[in-house]
Each structure stands twice: as C-alpha cells, then as structure tokens.
Amino acid sequence: MNTLKHTKLVKRNWLSKKAFEIELVRPSDFEFIPGQNIRFVYGDIERYYSIISSPDEPTIELCIRFVQEGVFCAVLADADPGFEFQFTGPHGYFTYKSSKRPPVFIATGTGIAPFVSMARSGITHFTLLHGVSCTEDLYYQSFFRKTSRFIPCISEFISKDGDISDIYYGRVTDFIVNELPRIEYDFYLCGRGEMVRDVTLLADELFPGSFVYNEVFF
C-alpha cells in the first residue's frame, strides 16, 4: 500500500468558497474500502484525503478543504487537467461495521467525505449530522436527503438560511445532547479534533453501550 501510484487530474468542481472536489484517474490496480483515504506525495509534502467515490466508480474523487495559506491545497486548486500526481494507499481503518445498533454518522466540514463514499457504495439507514458554519457548506445535502436521515447543524445564525426548514441551529454536540434518544448507537465521527473528543465523551456519558469509531480529518 506504500508503493507510489501515478495519477492525473481529470477535473475540479468548486463546492463552495471553502471546498472543492477533484476527480483523478484511477490506476487499474487500485482497490479500496469506503471510508479509506490516500496519501499524496508531492516533493517533501505529504497530505491525506478521504475518498468520496464508491469502489465501483472508474475514477477517484476527493473532497478538499481549501485553506488560503495551504501549500498543497493551492496546487490542487490551481492544477490543470492532466497534471500528474503521486499517491500511496489505500490507508485507514475508518470503515463501516454492520451491527444491530443504529449508525449515527457525525461530520464537521469536509469531514463528511468518507460518509459520501459509504453512502455511494450502498450503505443506508443511518442518521447523518453535518456541522458547518453556514448552509453554503452543506455540500452534499441533496444527495444525503435521498439516502438517509440528514440533519444540518448550523453553528452561525444567518437569516437567509431560513429557507431550509429542517436546520438545527447549534453544533452537532448540541443536537446529540438535546435531541438524540438515549439508546445504544454506533457513532462514526470524522472532522475536527475538538468535535471527535467532545462527542466521544458524550457517548460515554449519555449512551452507555455505544461504540465509537473516529477519524480526525484536520
């Protein structure tokens, strides 16, 4: 899995001012499980990104958080189609484990990426909390509304967001404390370290018997 693989940029699609998708040529020998990631190697720079495509798709798609001062994400944001990259992978163990407990997927920002891959691969009957600052960052809401119980959690109140009736104004942790029934769950957490820490503590305190799987995304 650490062998360098070669790929090329196919196209790029901006999702918001803060994030974009890229599509890459998929090497013929590259296989992965939904939830896994790849590691770009670019000179002395190494960066990990979760795959959003399903294992059955002919290309590799990634969701990239745009960081203004980021060196490598600037390369990804500006590269022309045909630009060559190297990567290793797949990496990671943040994969879906079926059980009798209902799954709750919890993401902040581009931490939603592995859940896109899982849903595209056919995983259903989950609850997804997506925590962002504004509705512009709900990149995949149309897709998830068709496949799951989708709960957008908006941390900053902006009046124009009112056209989406099911918004929960608060952080994902607020929803968990105030709205989630007290039963056993399989929690899958991907996003900021603070969110992963706080939800893990809440799972231990409020939902005994639950399992927690996590990946700190950035």
Q: SS3 sequence, 51-76?
A: ECCCCCCCEEEEEEECCCCCHHHHHH
173-211 residue pLDDT tens: 999 999 999 999 999 999 999 999 999 999 999 999 999
What domains sit in the chain, N to C, each tagged with a CATH number?
A: 5-91 (2.40.30.10), 103-216 (3.40.50.80)
Query: Which residue would you say has higher pLDDT here, 156 or 107?
Result: 107
What pTM does this model have?
0.93
* DSSP percent split of the chain into helix, strand, coil, nearest 5: 25, 35, 40
Distance CA 1, CA 176 (A): 37
- The answer, yes or no, to whether residue 166 has pLDDT greater than 70, is yes
166-172 average pLDDT score: 91
Distance CA 56, CA 71 (A): 31
Write out the two tokens for 6: 């070669």
Across the chain, mean pLDDT equals 92
Give the total residue count for the chain. 218
65-91 residue pLDDT tens: 998 888 899 999 999 999 999 999 999
Burial grade of 168 (CB within 10 A; 0-12, 13-18, 19 or more) = middle
pLDDT over 70, % of the chain: 94
Supply the pLDDT for residue 24: 98
Distance CA 126, CA 34 (A): 15
